[in-house]
Amino acid sequence: MRIRKGDKVKVISGADKPDAGSKNPYRKVVGIDYEAGKVTVQGVNTVRKHVRPNKRNPQGGILEVDMPINMSNVQVVCDGCNSPTRVGARILSDGSKERYCKKCGASMGQIMPPKKSKVAK
CA distances from 47 to 13, 43, 67, 77, 96 (A): 18, 10, 7, 25, 41
- pLDDT tens per residue, range 59-74: 999 999 999 999 999 9
Could you give all domains of the chain from N- to C-terminal order, each with its CATH number?
1-77 (2.30.30.30), 86-112 (no CATH)
The reported pTM is 0.79
- pLDDT tens per residue, range 28-42: 999 999 999 999 999
CA distance 87 to 77: 9
CA distance 68 to 40: 4
Spell out the residues 6+ positions from residue 14 whose beta carbon is closer than 8 angstroms to its own: 45, 69, 73
